[in-house]
Structure 1
Amino acid sequence: MTESSDQKQLLHLVFGGELTSLKDVHFKDLNDLDIVGIFPDYASALAAWKGKAQATVDNAHMRYFIVHMHRLLTPGEKVVGQD
């Protein structure tokens, strides 16, 4: 996949794992985290998140998350019109 050099990359990480409780985000075993991948935009990260979340719907303790990595890399920068 090649992106245009003038298009800003807005990297997103999708990962998940089994939680110890439904009340808090505390993973049962960090060695068992499922790192789905890093995606170039929110739309593709959301599609990956939905797929994993739907595939694990029978396990109430399994949760998947989208981390907006671009916000961590440039914390003060506002991106208009993006997630």
Structure 2
Amino acid sequence: MTGDFPYWPAAMNQKMAAAYCGLSVDLFKEICPVRPLKYTQSTWGHRYLRQRLDEWMASLDPNVKQSSVVKFEDFFSGGKGAA
């Protein structure tokens, strides 16, 4: 059964991290607050931890009451919330 699902490593490059989050690379770069680990000075050596991505995505869940959560739509409205 495990062959039916994609394998997501613990640390992913930007393209893979964006796909993991279900976002385009451009949108991922714009809204993702998770900062990559820097194995090398080159961006080719930057990796996003799957655990941090999971935490960020869980914080966006509208079904969970959290006072310090930045809502997804706030990224597009400059933090002013929906009008």
TM-score of the pair, normalised by structure 1: 0.26
Pick the structure with more strand per residue. 1
The higher relative CO (CA closer than 8 Å, separation ≥ 6) is in 1
Pick the structure with more helix per residue. 2
TM-score of the pair, normalised by structure 2: 0.26
